[in-house]
Amino acid sequence: MSRRVLEPVRAVSFSRNRVLLRPSIPIPRLFDRPRRMRQLPAPFHTTSSQGRSRQTPPKEPPKTDFGDLDVLADTPTPPTAVDRCLAKGFHLNGGAKVTDGSGVLLVNGEAFTWRPWLAMAEKRFINKKGQVELPKEAFGVLDVVWPRPEILIVGVGPQIRPLSRETRDYISSLGMRMEILDTNNAAAQYNLLATERGVDNVAAALIPLGWKEGEGVTE
């Protein structure tokens, strides 16, 4: 600014007991009308709008790597995960194979061959209501294992069917929830939940794909 902070006094007048000082500059008002200020360009503006308009938009959106979105990518697959479902058995991730027509019972990271039809007089699971009805003896391992899994996934063969009320009530009395699916989908669901929650919390009981009512397991 051109004006100095302190200005010299130009005129002094004396009047008895008062001394009046007359400053040489006018006293500014407290409130002045705002002045219109010139707008300055942005200090970091480096690209002109004309240059931006010349850029051609991409023909395709950027590709997404779904491998980066897989939160379970670094989680090891449990050995009891099912690699293949066959007509007469199963192949497990740990290298175990069941090919003699038996099903599998996967509990607490262990795999057992499972033949629930041996506890029945005939090779029939379907009752008169069209429901899968399995005897209590078919789940004997679950009755003695501790701690018990939270979820039991049952694969009832090539086609999904409802489970009978008696079988459901028995599994519920053991403190477990159930999911009933065809064997292929039951194996996939077990693989997902066992990897996500751990093999201690999820169990599976799978009947081979070659099961036929009244005949047993066939090719």
Residue 11 included in any domain: no
Answer with the residue of higher pLDDT: 134 or 30. 134
Residue 204 included in any domain: yes
Residue 46 included in any domain: no
What total of structural domains would you count in the chain? 1
- Could you tell me the pTM of the whole model? 0.66
Residue 90 included in any domain: yes
Tokens of 42: 């942005």
| Residue numbers of the domain that contains 171 | 84-217
So what's the pLDDT on residue 15? 43
Tens of pLDDT along 74-87?
A: 678 899 999 999 99
CA-based nearest residue to 181, from 201, 206, 202, 218? 206
Is the dihedral angle over the CA atoms 187, 188, 193, 198 positive or is it negative? positive
What is the overall mean pLDDT for the chain?
78
Tens of pLDDT along 134-182?
A: 888 899 899 898 889 999 999 999 999 999 999 999 999 999 999 999 9
Task: Determine which of 50-54, 87-91, 131-135, 144-148 has the lowest per-residue pLDDT on average.
Answer: 50-54
- pLDDT of 26 strictly over 90: no
So what's the pLDDT on residue 75? 75
So what's the pLDDT on residue 53? 53
Residue 199 included in any domain: yes
- pLDDT of 122 strictly over 80: no
Residue 13 included in any domain: no
107 and 143 Cβ atoms separated by less than 8 Å: no
Residue 75 included in any domain: no
Tens of pLDDT along 93-111?
A: 999 999 999 999 999 999 9
Burial of residue 152 (number of CB atoms within 10 Å: 0-12, 13-18, 19+): buried
CATH number, domain containing residue 111:
3.40.1230.10
pLDDT band at 205 (very low <50, low <70, confident <90, very high): very high
